[in-house]
A and B are shown apart, each in its own frame.
Chain A
């Protein structure tokens, strides 16, 4: 068991977003959090993050890149805690071949090989998001937590990204807005609605229409 929440109230300082939440996350779970925007996906993710910070690689919604550093350096940052500080500083001044070799396969897979030594601030939004993914992949570990990790990339790249994340990490928890993608990658779906968990079951046997009810409110608003 990685994490267990029992009857927890979750939220930011401004007020509760989720009430009375109980979930358990086990090693090997591949979880997709779904629900309307504002349903509390990010809140739940942040709560999981706060409890598993030491073990998890993060893919935040805002990739949090350092604009003036190269793509290489931004990815290298995933392992700042795994190297001594002096070694980090040497790599900051001049990347070691060893580290470049470790990072190159990741950027090649996500189609960023041409950009490896460009400044992160000069990339497009989708490219920046993929740099954030590469950083998490480079950091490694058993668990990844992602908040809409494919929101800014096209559908072909989205599959590449999700394949990479699911291959690299044993346990995956991703907030997703694309229900089809969620169903095809996750083995377990957690649906959020009205400040609580409305659904928590294996994805096998579920279809997109089974999840429609989660989005009913916004549909009504749109009508």
Chain B
């Protein structure tokens, strides 16, 4: 018998590029795990879990006032923010071929809603505008990109058939927009669902949405009230298609601005001071810019910032992102069969659906917050929460995808079916979704610093607490660059592996 090593390459067993890339990512995550802090620091996590579970089974819906306000304001912020984003997005999409517009949109969406909120808090205080802009700006960046891609796909035949000399606006409204309309509509509705989650999370920086009340309930140990609030939130999201009727949207948009809570006073001088003084690096502030000493002080400042804060924050963010990405991958592969007709009957699937809906409807930030209460501040709660949330999202998409696979009548069943028939067929799609969410996981990882995990957000949050906004801006810039870097790396890998690149239903 011939030795395998002697055979020419093509007939020797070898691994596909997809498998090699997967292995490399797993290896990186294992190395990262060695550097990650994943200790459980709370004294008695089990007792806490028991009390939380008790809260879940005894939800207190009698805290009506708090729940009602939380829900109404969460919806109002999401509505106004997403409406502005959709409007801005459709306009920006018209200019998306212009480089600077594209870059501005990329930067807008590379910075998390909560960071935008933290910036606007400095300028506008706790005014409703802070919350609205925090949602509207990054969402406009995402909408502009997706709308532009959709509009680009207008069939050439329809454009060619137009009489010569038709105005751009007429062309847009008669051909481009109607053709893209159904996709734009469903994408915007999906964005609104994401907007509800973002809006809820904004409560954690003091805006009067769900997160604020949830945080209060948690800090008082009032788990029954917290459970009731979360359950209300799930009901709102699950029933979205029932109450978000096209005919009612106009009415909602008229009413919503009046329901935004928060302080109303915006002081102009705060905005001016923020833009002209606060964000200027300290050594350059009110200094003589021709004096070389000023610049050497600036150099020291920059060096100090990069080595003491940006670098450790950067490393921690990347480490956590890579571990969370691979953990997400494993959970996805475990989750998708739960809702697949190939593996479970009607009853099993409905339980699977319920579980996945809850996991993907809960904002990852809130999931992390809950796990942090249980296990104390380390990377462990973040890894588990990010993997659960993202695994549920991709698992849901893959599960639906797996239903469309047609198998030969005599195919195997159970684990064999899973490993030989289903997963190999799904694997390309699986990797595409995963790489698509890579950058989103990183965005989320950075913001988790606000909760005390030492990622970039941690340094940003500390700088805000010290009112050193120049540092905040520098760290935000690093965060945005890291995000853009991962985005292009992900696109590179996807195109190398020839994975489909347009999956707009899986971002957020």
Contacts and interface: CB of A to CB of B under 8 A. Distances in A.
Contact of A66 (B164, B166, B167, B175): B175
A53 interface: yes
Most chain B CB within a 10 A radius of its CB, from A58, A73, A81, A92: A81
Interface stretch (B23-31, B152-160, B186-194, B280-288): B152-160
Interface string B159-176: 111111111011101110
A105 interface: no
A134 to B, nearest CB: 12
B158 A85 contact: no
Nearest to A57: B163
A206 interface: no
Interface stretch (B177-185, B296-304, B324-332): B177-185
A79 B166 CA distance: 8
A88 B170 contact: yes
A77 interface: yes
B166 A81 contact: yes
Interface residues of A, number: 28
B interface, over-half SS:
helix
A42 interface: no
A135 interface: yes
A99 to B, nearest CB: 13
A175 interface: no
B179 A63 contact: no
A39 interface: no
A57 B162 CA distance: 9
A64 interface: yes
A212 B463 CA distance: 85
A65 B157 CA distance: 8
B163 A60 contact: no
Interface in A53-107: 53-54, 57-58, 60, 62-69, 73, 76-82, 85, 88-89, 92
Contacts of A40: none
20 contacts: A54-B164, A58-B161, A64-B156, A64-B159, A66-B158, A66-B179, A67-B179, A68-B179, A73-B178, A77-B161, A77-B162, A77-B163, A80-B162, A80-B167, A81-B166, A81-B167, A85-B167, A85-B169, A88-B174, A89-B173
Interface of A: 53-54, 57-58, 60, 62-69, 73, 76-82, 85, 88-89, 92, 132, 135, 139
